[in-house]
Structure 1
Amino acid sequence: MTLALAVEDDDLVVEVPEHPPVRLPLAGPDRVSTLLLFGYPGRGRTRYGLAVLDESGLVMMEAPGSRSRRQVEAFAQENGLGFELRRFATGEEARIALARRSPGWHVVTWRRPPPALPRLRVPGVRSLRPPMGSPKVWWREQLLYGLMWLVLAYGVAFATLVVLNMTAPGRDVTRGMGLLGIAALVLAVVTVIGAAVVVGIGRRRTRRQIADARELQRRGDPHCRLVVVHGRLLLETARRTREIDASRLLLYSAEPGVGGLIVGESLLHLPGHWDPEEVERFAVRNGLELRTRALSREEYLDLTTRVRDAVP
């Protein structure tokens, strides 16, 4: 991500392409204190980024991308800010640190926002397979198998006629081609209708999950939601979906503008705004234990340090 740093009227101004400028205060209780250049191991390569920290070391803004250490350090010294270079040992360690949000936290997005109902990517081949014995599921499977065999049969017949035309030009196979054209038209109509039915079923299923408190979504960016599928608690982010072995939720609030959700016994930290009523319905509907706490800054700092992973 390309960004520019500047100081205007006692504010640190961060300009990002296709994003309104972010203004962070350089004076006051929640002021900018340190510019942090960080790196951590990713999939096949090291990922880098820049974070703006307040006096307590909490993140006010974070932007991914590699930047010149000399330029950032010189900018910090010129404007009386601290500078820190940190290399995290693991991705979990980096996410835990970046998820500790300051009351003056600002989100910076550089990609298109995810759709309102993003596709659910679940690990495992049979993760979303419905319970056996359901008549609706059985008929849907038979319909899909039937369409598959029709498409294969059409392909075999078409290839056979093409080979006959190439090997024996004298034979009259145009009648067969006409029948294949009619079959292709029928298959196209059936495919369009089948696709519309599948999309409609998927949308109704998603709406039903929300109505049945099977889904709990974090407000705002970055995208993050919890989903229960066949008794399995899943966490979906913009990058991946994974299963979580947890039976407890802790909904906390610390300072104005600071809140989040702890999943399990200090297992996973999900900072951000979670609607209390939706969290309660989700917990009751899925048999999860829910606690609600108001934390002091010291308790917040301690709690967010002891977690094992986080989604900033």
Structure 2
Amino acid sequence: MALLTPDRLVLADLPGRWDGEEVRRFAAPLGLSVFEAGATHSTQARTALAARAPGWIRLAGMPAPPPARWRRPVAVGAGVLGLAAMVYLISIGAGYAWRAFSSVGRVLIDVIEAKWLVVMFSPVLVVLSPVRKRLLRRRLGSGSVIGSVGGLHLDVSSGALRVRRGMGTLREYRIGQEPGQAAWLLLYRHADLAGLFVFGAAGAPLEHLPGPWSPEHVNRFASQHGLGLQVRQVDKDEYAALVGSVREACP
């Protein structure tokens, strides 16, 4: 659920399941309108949720307690044991036994809700995860990618600007001056808000990526991939026009 200002900007994002009938009963005596977006196209929902109002907050319940100190060494130890077991079983031609063991192990992890032990049954994560994070940090420094390690980020592959989250690609835009292609970036600030817009050559915003982005990294990224860049403060009217006309967004 989201709380909106009169001009349809999101003041508070309240993720989770909410009963529509209960929300309507709560809102009625307060004179609040309720708009149900269940039937709304997902693209419209994403662009609406990314249109944040000054003072925007996201409330997600109580913060998770910090993990116990013993969890990391136990997880690493479990990963090493799992890696040794995998190598041994495969070396004696019993790869099928490892596959069965790891499949049962993942089911048990879901049952006992100890997902941090997944490294025991996918031990390659012990090696690949830190290596992948180190490579991504290096790419951030070189300007070949911008964003957060393991989270939302942009990169370029085969002449296409890709919007990615983790290892998955959400959307991609060819870089160029044709309609629908990515031509330049706008790194903006509005009141206490910040974010990044991807623009087409005709000046229409293609993608809205709200949140903090490093100006240094964005500048290096734009220069390396032949994208134009503007960095500026936008006023209320321009901000409203941009979030109201953008095609896609990552709330």
Q: Give CA deviations for 1:67-119 in whole Å, capped at 9, x if unaligned.
A: 3334323322334x42222335310011111111010100234697xxxxxxx
For the pair shown, the structure with the greater C-alpha radius of gyration is 1
Aligned residues, how many? Answer: 190
TM-score, structure 1 normalization: 0.51
For residues 161-240 of structure 1, what are the structure 2 equivalents within 5 Å? 201-217=131-147, 223-229=151-157, 232-237=160-165, 240=168
Letter in 1 for 2:93: G
Q: C-alpha separation between the residues in 1 aligned to 2:32 and 2:131?
A: 54
Contact 1:214 1:229 in 2 (8 A): no
Q: Could you tell me how far 1:209 is from its partner in structure 2? A: 0.7
Which residue matches 2:206? Answer: 267
Which residue of the partner structure matches residue 301 of structure 1?
240
Match of 1:287 in 2: 226
Structure 2 runs not aligned, ≥5 long: 65-87, 98-122, 174-181
Structure of higher RCO (CA pairs closer than 8 Å, 6+ residues apart): 2
User: Measured at CA, do residues 198 and 76 of structure 1 come closer, stay the same or move farther in structure 2, by a change above 3 Å?
Assistant: closer
- The 1:105/1:204 distance shift into structure 2, 3 A limit, reads closer
Q: Is the 8 A contact 2:147 2:153 kept in 1?
A: yes
TM-score for both structures, normalised by structure 2? 0.62
Q: Which runs of 5+ in 1 are unaligned?
A: 1-49, 113-149, 160-191
Supply the RMSD in Å over aligned alpha carbons: 3.6
2:53 aligned with 1:102, yes or no?
A: yes
Distance verdict in 2 for CA 1:84–1:155, change over 3 Å: same
Residue 276 in structure 1 maps to residue 211 in structure 2: no
Q: Does 1:251 align with 2:179?
A: no
- The equivalent of 1:46 in structure 2 is none
1:239 to 1:298, Cα distance in 2 relative to 1, 3 A: farther
> Match of 2:244, SS?
helix
Amino acid of the structure 1 residue aligned with 2:28: Q
C-alpha contact 2:5 2:11 (8 A) present in aligned 1: yes
Query: Quick one: distance in 2 between partners of 1:281 and 1:214?
Result: 8
- Higher-helix-fraction structure: 2
Q: Which runs of 4+ in 1 moved over 6 A?
A: 150-153, 156-159, 194-197
C-alpha contact 1:217 1:226 (8 A) present in aligned 2 = yes
